[in-house]
Structure 1
Amino acid sequence: PHACFILSVEDDLVGDGGIMDLWVREARIFKYGSGVGTNYSNIRGEGEKLSGGGTSSGLMSFLKIGDRAAGAIKSGGTTRRAAKMVCLDIDHPEIEQFVNWKVEEEKKVAALIDAGYASDYEGEAYRTVSGQNSNNSVRIPNSFFEKLEKGEDWELKARTDGRVMKKVPAKELWNQISYAAWRCADPGTQYNTTINEWHTCPEGGEIRASNPCSEYMFLDNTACNLASANLIKFFNFENNTLDVEGFEYVCRLWTTVLEISVLMAQFPSKEVAQLSYEYRTLGLGYANLGTVLMVSGIPYDSEKARAIAGSITAIMTGIAYKTSAEMAEVMGAFPRYEENKTHMLRVMRNHRLAAYDADSYEGLSVKPQGLKAQYCPDYLLKAACKAWDDAVELGEKFGYRNAQATVIAPTGTIGLVMDCDTTGVEPDFALVKFKKLSGGGYMKIVNQSVPVALTNLGYNEKERDAIIKYAVGAGTFAGAPHINHQTLSEKGFIASEIAKLDKAVVSAFEIGFVFNVYALGEECLQRLGFTPEQYYNFEWSLLEAL
């Protein structure tokens, strides 16, 4: 059941815990369909001296090896790509090359596509270049932003002795990160100071990395299991409210299930197995928030939407930690709790303060966004505050069974299985989507929440029908503009062939895709005056010819 892993890597080529050993540990994780993240900042930069003489070839040379390995080992033995996160501290000597890695590789891809190679992400152009099998993130402390604000230089430091190898204007480096993220969606940014100020177990070390989608952030060589609740299943369509009692019950139940699953998991190394038992981190989350907001007629980018999202998350997390404390009463706190007790209770109190939208917090550099009472439905606000009152009160008495209890995963795959219209906390980016499948073909996904949303926004039946047909399509050529039953008949199609087209167009990615010999048969195309040389040529378009 464990889906998220964070592994460490040491500045060693072939020893245990070193670079080549990491590829073996990653391979075990990829083989069974899970994802892994690692902070590579321990590895010395290009030009740093080696103990046996000579200088290091640098971090980037090894990242390219790991990238190839991940590309070769398809996740879970399927055509799905391996899920891999590469994190790097912003003071690493090769940070600029890392930031621009994918930018430069995309230029090569563009040249290969211009030369005639396939442009899809499984095609020869992307397979030829490096850096395509991981998400990349830069770890940034608050001290960098202080330099940025003052217009000062940022120091890049050697891994071996800490000496300054180069100085870069902080603004220039920040602009490179921003441009690269705009150009090719990488690297992401992880705010190291804030992350570690919310760390429940700093006595075990610093949080240095995350899993591939960054929902799980904890110590190196730890793992997290995931479960997500479909929020729309708790939604009352008659009065546009959430069943808080039912949601709390599910959160309590699944926190218990995830705790049990710690005993059932398999791990890629002894270190991960040991720390998983000592910290017992869990990953309860939810999906379909965007649908709940949509059917309620609430804009996603609004104060009310943020208040609802915050309160639902607070209820889930508060109930999860309350349940964890209840389990600790019976089974004992996680083994590393006592040494981290002061830190964890401080983090729990800060969560409770955020539920009450307090003015001050304990040990935080940046004030978090609390729940805004003026925008949050009263029943959700009260439930959120009570959940955190209980979580803190019970935790102070009994401790907690789990060092972490919740994450919000992207739910890109399980969201489909749960029939969610939206994934994780995200809005719907299109009412009709075509998911390109790695094994070939497309899946048409139509948002089923639009009719209810339009009703709650006050549209009448005629208006709703017109809007839905405009957005989704009618799914038939009957009465359609330009290409319809009449114009098809005039072109020579008979009734049975038109029926085939109507059936095929319901799930078609693009209208031209249904006009082919495989859907209509050779008899039809020959009657229309076309030859096998034409209709078996994939570059030829029947629709254009008609």
Structure 2
Amino acid sequence: MTETVSGPTGRKGGRARGRSKGLTIDRVYTTEGVHPYDDVTWERRDVVQQNWKTGETVFEQRGVEFPDFWSANASTIVTTKYFRGAVGSEDREQSLKQLLDRVVLTYVKAGKDHGYFATESDAEVFEHELTYMLLHQVFSFNSPVWFNVGTSSPQQVSACFILAVDDSMDSILNWYKEEGLIFKGGSGAGLNLSRIRSSKELLRSSGGTASGPVSFMRGADASAGTIKSGGATRRAAKMVVLDVDHPDVEEFVQTKAREEDKIRVLRDAGFDMDLGGDDITSVQYQNANNSVRVTDEFMRAVEDGTDFGLRARTTGEVIDTVDAKKLFADIAQAAWECADPGLQYDTTINDWHTTPETGRITASNPCSEYMHLDNSSCNLASLNLLKFLQDDGSFDSATFVKAVELIITAMDISICFADFPTEAIGETTRKFRQLGIGYANLGALLMASGLAYDSDGGRALAASITSLMTGTSYRRSAELAGVVGPYDGFKQNAEPHARVMRKHQAANDAVRTMHAMDIAVHREATKQWAKGIEIGTKNGWRNAQASVLAPTGTIGFMMDCDTTGIEPDFSLVKFKKLVGGGSMQIVNQTVPAALKKLGYTTETIEAIVEYIAEHGHVIDAPGLKPEHYEVFDCAMGERAIKPMGHVRMMAATQPFLSGAISKTVNMPETATVEEIQDIYFQGWKLGLKALAVYRDNCKVGQPLSVEKKKSADADGRGASEASDRDPAEPEVKTVVIEKPTRKRLPKKRPSITQSFTVGGAEGYMTSGSYPDDGLGEVFLKLGKQGSTLAGVMDAFSIAVSIGLQYGVPLETYVQKFTNLKFEPAGLTDDPDVRMSQSIMDYIFRRLALDYLPFDVRSQIGIYSAEERQRQLDTGSYLPAEDEEIPESESLKSSPAPDTDRRGASEASDRDASVAELEREAQIDADDAEIMAESAKPAPRSAHTSAELLQVISGTEVDAPLCFTCGTKMRPAGSCHVCEGCGATSGCS
């Protein structure tokens, strides 16, 4: 059982003498005498989930109750993730009403017990308003609240933890223990290892050399991996930070980059290095995000090109120096190779620190949004910004303010009854009461408002909303201080806390507004900061921190948000899950709202939406003005937002956050190390607190090939033999000109016609072979006849076929084209090749299985489903000597279930209405034309070539598969979240 420390049972932190008698709560959403549930139409739904590999039902709960306006996706995620009780038992929750009551009534009771409300009537209004906002998806608490509050489990409400480790073995082993307890509960933790002495320093006790922090990272990483594998609600997530002046910083920077090299080598040797594969556990440091803490001193040394000192942990003296510019380049190089390490800007972080008299901020949670004292935690909640967009296109600032007031009140109440994994974390959290209010759906709000994400107008609105949120939060915190007292550590930190409030206010005054919408929001933010500082000067503040921007992974889906956290829209076309089962592909609903905002007519809007549905982007959409293209720019697709667009949005909102921002700046595969250096450098210049990058494809390297250098004497003769030749004797050279000979296929030859699906894209492949076996031609059918895509695939087919007939080994093609990554990619309908990184990757894996012998395939690491299963069962891919081998498997792997094997005689008897496709290529003057019988033309596919672009625009190649349901995940801050079941890779 998880070690927990209960919150105070008495009235500590409650109402003090001379303070007001509690809060008066106004009705905003609700009507007196009418419960929020009574104004909603409820319906019963069946939630069934199946194993993506076997089709086996892994979750089933029928007749669950949800409002009719909740999507099937939201109800599925809440049912599977948040309903408590054993499925099938009487105690199992089966209605959203039960879930909301379990949480809300616990908050109300604690609020009354600790003196938050002036009257019973105010407590009832609080209950109704909180219920309404959760019911109508206006906001959501973080996942631990839904997991734990109101249950028999420990009442853990925090998702973010920061630990501490000192330079002693007891402390290091305690770190392992505390981290494990947090992982067991499905949360994540971060810490700074810089107190541990470096491998260049001596041990006090024995005089030997210290191991250094990187060595201890190995043990912690193995522990996290073990606990992750134990079936926790979410995967273990952790952050490891090292200061830039630590003597082992260079080793730390390279840790994960070296491991990525190992992954490539092992994968190419045939080991299973896929996510969750049997052999991936041999790779170290994969369960943590790594970040280097850089100071202004170091960044100025980078800027000036000077040396920088590395300091001993025990004495503080400089024991080594490095070229700052080179170290910075090494950091960027490692990030280019494997996305780690990120940077945390230490000087900036501590300049915005409200409690420096208690201690410095040295670390963050795994996603880098929560940054405060060691051994502390933060509970989160996020607003759905799209709920405040009014019909007239304005942002409802007044209602937004009331919502923030209520949410901050509820979040602070939760600390009164919350349990914590360790005594130290519980003590610090109760003493400083760190909160993390944030939001989701910013990208959707901007698009619906007709504002580009990467634009001055978009940044002005985002900055104004963020400022309004945090200004209102601190104003309510000051009011709470007048009711139940300021946080216990406030008196010691009163002046620095007030200084940070003034910094926020000054940043608000510097916002440059551009439109009526952001002008109105900014005006209200200015009022809230002025009022908050005035009240705080009198009462102090109840909370040392108020706001962060978290990933909002699972809870974003619970609120039916189109975009998570501060992220832009991911793509213009998404898959929508249907209540009755299945899914459909639709254009984002924010697109027509944006077009209406921009002044387009209904007819034009319909035409543009239809164009987007077909093409997946807005380029050349009928009637759409080119100057409006930028409004529809997304994270992926034809008009992907540039990396600096993401950085500038972070910079616009950072001055109005107590913590930081969980966000990874995605960069194209073609990005250079120098571009990453510039991103990291600009992040410092623009005042960010943390920054991480991800270069597409950086974690899946292409197969390595090393060509041995030929000796000077290619024929093997030594130097002495050459020197013995009579210098007067003329050297006679015989030049042999080798010309490849084409081996044509006979008029009749065996062939295989197979349909396939890769990432939703459908196609057909016909492969013909010589009578004595051996592949001789390949023809591919993909996209509409006459389309560019179909033409390119025809040309590619001819090129490969000619190469095969001229003797290019199939093995060579397989080595070159497998692991090639581009869209469409993802799940296939072939049981032997469940995942493919591109259509080319699939085609040549399938051909290898059909035409290459086992010993050749095994060297490349390509196995059939039966072979992989046999390896799992027996430890060997090959059957036992006494095991009968099916005929199809003795020659090649079994084809997909829908593979159609036909000979040429069958092809000649095809329906007369199906015309043959003739492909012709001129090789040289002596070559005749190449002719081949094509595959039967595909019926009209559910995914035409134009519809493939929808998949292209909405899929990230390097996102991992969900451990729960197998669906490809999508980015959520610096983590990933599954749209199918709501599972995350460690976020809240």
Compute the TM-score of the two structures, normalised by the length of structure 1. Answer: 0.82
Deviation at 1:162, TM superposition (A): 2.2
Identical aligned pairs, as a percentage? 47
* Residues 416 and 249 (structure 1), Cα distance of their counterparts in 2 relative to 1, 3 Å cut: same
1:215-257: CA deviation from partner (whole Å, max 9, x where unpaired): 1110101110011111111112x32222112211111111011
* Residues 338 and 159 (structure 1), Cα distance of their counterparts in 2 relative to 1, 3 Å cut: same
* Residues 416 and 148 (structure 1), Cα distance of their counterparts in 2 relative to 1, 3 Å cut: same
Which position in structure 2 is the counterpart of 1:398? 539
Which of 148, 151, 165 is the equivalent residue of 1:9? 165
Which of 443, 461, 482 is the equivalent residue of 1:290? 443
**1-side partners of 2:172 and 2:830: how far apart?**
52
**2-side partners of 1:25 and 1:444: how far apart?**
44
**2-side partners of 1:99 and 1:446: how far apart?**
42
Deviation at 1:123, TM superposition (A): 2.0
**1-side partners of 2:229 and 2:524: how far apart?**
40
Deviation at 1:510, TM superposition (A): 6.5
**2-side partners of 1:434 and 1:210: how far apart?**
34
**1-side partners of 2:584 and 2:303: how far apart?**
47
1:436-461: CA deviation from partner (whole Å, max 9, x where unpaired): xxxxxx99997443333344443431
The 8 Å contact of residues 184 and 232 in structure 2, kept in 1 or not, is answered as: no
1:427 aligns with 2:583: no
1:227 aligns with 2:381: yes
Q: Secondary structure at the match of 1:286?
A: strand
* Residues 75 and 448 (structure 1), Cα distance of their counterparts in 2 relative to 1, 3 Å cut: farther
Which position in structure 2 is the counterpart of 1:152? 306
Which of 524, 530, 538 is the equivalent residue of 1:383? 524
Deviation at 1:183, TM superposition (A): 2.0
* Residues 210 and 542 (structure 1), Cα distance of their counterparts in 2 relative to 1, 3 Å cut: same
1:457-498: CA deviation from partner (whole Å, max 9, x where unpaired): 4343123212123229xx999xx9549xxxxxxxxxxxxxxx
The 8 Å contact of residues 88 and 139 in structure 1, kept in 2 or not, is answered as: yes
1:133 aligns with 2:287: yes
Which position in structure 2 is the counterpart of 1:513? 828
AA matched with 1:3: A
Between 66-75 and 209-218, the greater mean CA deviation after superposition: 66-75
The 8 Å contact of residues 516 and 542 in structure 1, kept in 2 or not, is answered as: no
Deviation at 1:432, TM superposition (A): 4.8
Which of 442, 455, 477 is the equivalent residue of 1:324? 477
* Residues 84 and 537 (structure 1), Cα distance of their counterparts in 2 relative to 1, 3 Å cut: same
Compute the TM-score of the two structures, normalised by the length of structure 2. Answer: 0.46
Which position in structure 2 is the counterpart of 1:418? 559
Which position in structure 2 is the counterpart of 1:68? 222
**1-side partners of 2:898 and 2:436: how far apart?**
51
| 1:458-537 alignment runs, 5 A limit | 458=600, 459-471=604-616, 482=784, 513-514=828-829
AA matched with 2:514: Q
**2-side partners of 1:514 and 1:405: how far apart?**
48
AA matched with 2:529: W
**1-side partners of 2:229 and 2:495: how far apart?**
40
Q: Secondary structure at the match of 2:557?
A: helix
The 8 Å contact of residues 515 and 543 in structure 1, kept in 2 or not, is answered as: no
The 8 Å contact of residues 75 and 83 in structure 1, kept in 2 or not, is answered as: no
Higher radius of gyration, 1 or 2: 2
Deviation at 1:537, TM superposition (A): 5.8
AA matched with 1:460: I
Which position in structure 1 is the counterpart of 2:357? 203
AA matched with 1:180: A
**1-side partners of 2:181 and 2:572: how far apart?**
38
Q: How many residues align?
A: 480
| 1:298-377 alignment runs, 5 A limit | 298-357=451-510, 371-374=511-514, 377=518
**2-side partners of 1:116 and 1:182: how far apart?**
25
The 8 Å contact of residues 586 and 613 in structure 2, kept in 1 or not, is answered as: no
**1-side partners of 2:900 and 2:451: how far apart?**
43
Q: Secondary structure at the match of 2:252?
A: helix
1:2-51: CA deviation from partner (whole Å, max 9, x where unpaired): 1111111011112xxx1010011011111111111101000111142112
Which of 246, 254, 258 is the equivalent residue of 2:399? 246
1:37 aligns with 2:190: yes
**1-side partners of 2:826 and 2:318: how far apart?**
60
AA matched with 2:169: L
Structure 2 unpaired stretches of 5+? 1-156, 577-582, 618-759, 763-781, 786-823, 833-885, 902-934, 936-988
AA matched with 2:616: A
* Residues 476 and 157 (structure 1), Cα distance of their counterparts in 2 relative to 1, 3 Å cut: closer
Q: Secondary structure at the match of 1:460?
A: helix
Deviation at 1:305, TM superposition (A): 0.7
The 8 Å contact of residues 31 and 75 in structure 1, kept in 2 or not, is answered as: no
Which position in structure 1 is the counterpart of 2:252? 98
**2-side partners of 1:79 and 1:537: how far apart?**
37
Deviation at 1:99, TM superposition (A): 0.9
* Residues 153 and 262 (structure 1), Cα distance of their counterparts in 2 relative to 1, 3 Å cut: same
Deviation at 1:124, TM superposition (A): 3.6
AA matched with 2:828: F
The 8 Å contact of residues 247 and 310 in structure 2, kept in 1 or not, is answered as: yes
Q: Secondary structure at the match of 1:159?
A: coil
AA matched with 1:11: D
The 8 Å contact of residues 105 and 130 in structure 1, kept in 2 or not, is answered as: yes
The 8 Å contact of residues 161 and 189 in structure 2, kept in 1 or not, is answered as: yes
Deviation at 1:165, TM superposition (A): 2.5
**2-side partners of 1:24 and 1:135: how far apart?**
19
| 1:97-116 alignment runs, 5 A limit | 97-116=251-270
**1-side partners of 2:470 and 2:887: how far apart?**
62
AA matched with 1:95: V
Runs of 4+ in 1 over 6 A off after TM superposition: 442-446, 509-512, 543-546
**1-side partners of 2:202 and 2:268: how far apart?**
41
**2-side partners of 1:281 and 1:432: how far apart?**
38
* Residues 543 and 322 (structure 1), Cα distance of their counterparts in 2 relative to 1, 3 Å cut: farther
